[in-house]
Amino acid sequence: PTCRRDAIDIIDDDPQCEVETSAVRRRLLLSTMAIAVATVSLDGPADAVGIEEDYTKQVDAVPATPSVVEGELTVSQPPPNRIVNVSDKRPDQKKKANRSGYFVAGGASAAFSHGITVPIDVVKTKSQTDDALAGLSPLDAALRIVEDEGAGALSKGLQPTVLGYGFEGAMKFGVYESLKPLFLVQFAGQSNEAYLAAAVCAGALASIILCPLEETRIRLVTDSSFANGLTDGLPKLLRENGIASPFRKGLAPMLSKQVPYTIGKQVSFDLFASVLYSFLSGLSFVPRGQIAIEVEVGAAFLASIVACLLSQPGDVVLTQTYKNDSSAEGFLSTINSLYGDGGVGRFFRGLSARFLHVGCIITFQLVIYDQLKQALGLPA
């Protein structure tokens, strides 16, 4: 035959060809039916228990079939009955989501932990600046404040505390967790050095964000005539002293507090958690699946002690710098003034109240942060 139509005419005219063609058609029909039955028996019903998971594992083990689409070799789409994990196909988006989770968890845990401890923070700040409260216990100092100024004095600075430390916690935790893998590469897997470098960078960045809100908080606590809260206190502060004022006079004291504080909190928590988990996991009588919360609380409490001791001098310098708007002393001048007022012990005034304050903050913060990370699908 010279063309396809001639071949069809020949087949139609020849009875033997027609018989053979019918037989081929029957065989094709039977083969198609057999394939369909085999596919149904392999996939099973949609609600069959265990079948879908086993089939998915078998499918994942088979390499994707290449196909040509518009002249380019691509991977063919799986059939509709196969489960496709979209997150595995987009690792960049998954990593971005993970990194954003650290910022969310850090900001929420910091805002909550600092907010509920504002009364202790007020007692600590006033103990550092008021000579009449210097030798009192945190409880006695709190009672004296309530007696002199009323119970409302213990909630001063709540708004700038929650807002400021919410932003500060988001940047501190988010930047710290994001920089850890980068510094691990730079330091060739030396975790201690990598964690330390990440904590320094995170603490420095958080300090810049916190400066204006922390000055507003300290002014509200130490000067009852300054303002009523954040909404009128921060604009008044910036209007009187200028936008750059909180950074010009407070950035160095803030760094002297926040960088040691971040190192003591973040790095020591990671180290303490690792040591405690290894120790408790080695005890045969301790169920391994039930030690997570014990490790979190224990490591957080130990980290709070380290962070408090490392950052206490910087906290005293920061409070002295921000306590009124007439402070024109520089960073070193403030240190010399404090040292002349009481020697080395002057830098640890209010330590008992700050131990209580920082202990509550860090314990609540790190435990909540760890729980939020797990809820967001992040490693904890």
What average pLDDT does the segment 138-143 reach?
A: 92
Instruction: List the single range of 72-81, 91-100, 171-180, 195-204 with lowest mean pLDDT.
Output: 72-81
If one compares 283 and 344, the residue with the highest pLDDT of the two is 344
Query: Helix, strand, coil shares of the chain as percentages rounded to 5?
Result: 80, 0, 20
How many Cα atoms occupy the beta-carbon half-sphere of 291 within 13 Å? 18
Q: What count of other Cβ atoms lies within 10 Å of the Cβ of residue 153?
A: 18
What average pLDDT is seen over the chain?
78
Rounded-to-integer distance, Cα 152 and Cα 143, Å: 12
Residue 69's H or E segment, with its range, is strand 66-69
Confidence band (pLDDT; 50, 70, 90) for 269? confident
If one compares 238 and 47, the residue with the highest pLDDT of the two is 238
DSSP state, residue 377: T
What average pLDDT does the segment 260-289 reach?
A: 82
If one compares 87 and 147, the residue with the highest pLDDT of the two is 147
* Nearest residue to 123 via CA among 108, 103, 143, 107: 143
pLDDT greater than 50 at residue 42:
no
Instruction: List the single range of 63-77, 329-343, 365-379 with lowest mean pLDDT.
Output: 63-77
Q: What is the percent of the chain where pLDDT is above 90?
A: 34
Rounded-to-integer distance, Cα 45 and Cα 26, Å: 29
Rounded-to-integer distance, Cα 140 and Cα 253, Å: 29
Residues 136 and 158 sit within 8 Å (Cβ to Cβ): no
Instruction: List the single range of 29-38, 59-68, 210-219 with lowest mean pLDDT.
Output: 59-68
Backbone angles phi, psi at 72, to 5 degrees: -120, 145
**pLDDT tens column, 149-163:** 999 999 999 999 999
Q: What is the pTM of this model?
A: 0.67
Confidence band (pLDDT; 50, 70, 90) for 287? confident
Which parts of 134-226 fold into alpha helices (H)? Answer: 138-149, 158-186, 191-222
pLDDT greater than 50 at residue 88:
no
pLDDT greater than 90 at residue 96:
no
What average pLDDT does the segment 237-245 reach?
A: 87
Instruction: Give the pLDDT of residue 140.
Output: 93
* Nearest residue to 349 via CA among 13, 192, 124: 124
Instruction: Write down the residue that tokens 């850090």 correspond to.
Output: 106
DSSP state, residue 290: G
Residue 380's H or E segment, with its range, is none
Backbone angles phi, psi at 32, to 5 degrees: -65, -45
If one compares 218 and 66, the residue with the highest pLDDT of the two is 218
Residue/partner pairs of 272-277 with CB below 8 Å, 24 or more apart: 272/298, 272/299, 272/302, 272/303, 273/299
pLDDT greater than 80 at residue 36:
no
Confidence band (pLDDT; 50, 70, 90) for 327? low
Rounded-to-integer distance, Cα 285 and Cα 282, Å: 9
If one compares 315 and 96, the residue with the highest pLDDT of the two is 315
pLDDT greater than 50 at residue 129:
yes
**Token pair in block for residue 210:** 């916190």
**pLDDT tens column, 148-206:** 999 999 999 999 999 999 999 999 999 999 999 999 998 887 888 888 899 899 989 98
Confidence band (pLDDT; 50, 70, 90) for 77? very low
